[in-house]
Each structure stands twice: as structure tokens, then as C-alpha cells.
Amino acid sequence: MPRAVTIPSATRLTSSTVGTLIGGIIDGREGVDHGARTAACHAAGAAATVGIATASAAAAGAGALTGYAGLASATAALGLGGVTTAAAAALGATAASGAALTGAAATSAVVATVGGPVIAAGMVVGCVGVAGYGIYQAGRALGRWIF
């Protein structure tokens, strides 16, 4: 069996996306809809990732910045670093030198802008669930169209 080539920062999101799309295609062919369950599974996975990353940051001694460090780790683990970098750029957040923010700095800027770690964590969980639902429904529509 050949080995899959993956991009390390997007491995989890990509494998989840492909599985969701294929599941939607199969369900579209069979005429069933598991969209709500798919969204719930994606959201639960994101919630677990955020929770584990935040607990890890707390255990590492992040102190008052635990929420920010946890979300930075979770967005990286979910493959969403590019999304937070783009969001920071759209918000006009830059470093003191005027350079664009990337990585944990971009995530921290976005988290602070939206109202803090709790609100940002809810947004990550909700958006991952919505994205999973949309990908599933796109696959389902494709399955109905092909078959």
C-alpha cells in the first residue's frame, strides 16, 4: 500500500475533509443525510483539540496566557494557521516593525480582537463544525448528481 504524502500542519484537517467528502458522496448515493452528526463530530473533535491544547499550555506553565497559548497550539494542530494569519491581516494587525503577523502572534491578535480565549474557542469549535457540515453536504450533492 503506498504511503500518503501529507503536509504536517494540515494533516488532521485534510484527512478529516477527505473522509467527510467521501462520506457525503456515499450518503448522497444512498439518499441519506447524516449532516447534523457530521457537524457534531467535527465540532467535538475541535473542542477536544482546544481543551487538550489549553490543558497542555497550563501544565507547561503558561499562567495568565494559558488560553492564548492553548488556542495557538490548537489552531496549529487543526491546520488553521493560514486562516488566523489571514484574519490578522484583514484586521490590520501588524508587528511593531510593521511586518505581518504569523503563527502564534497572529492567533493571539485575533483572539484578543474577538473578545478573548473563551469566545475564540467557541468560534473555532463552531466554525469547524460548520465547515464539516458544508463539506459533507457538498459531497452529498455530488453523490446525488453522479449517481
pLDDT in tens, 20-53: 999 999 999 999 999 999 999 999 999 999 999 9
Q: Collect all residues with Cβ–Cβ distance below 8 Å to 53 and sequence separation of at least 6.
A: 70, 71, 73, 74, 77
Q: Is the pLDDT of residue 5 over 50?
A: no
The one-letter code for the residue type at 127 is C
CA distances to 2, 19, 71, 117, 135 from 16, in Å: 19, 5, 20, 25, 10
- Residue matched to cell numbers 483572539: 111
The whole model's pTM is what?
0.83
pLDDT in tens, 61-86: 999 999 999 999 999 999 999 999 99
Please, what is the average pLDDT of the chain? 89
Q: Collect all residues with Cβ–Cβ distance below 8 Å to 74 and sequence separation of at least 6.
A: 46, 49, 50, 53, 54, 121, 124
Cell digits of residue 111: 483572539
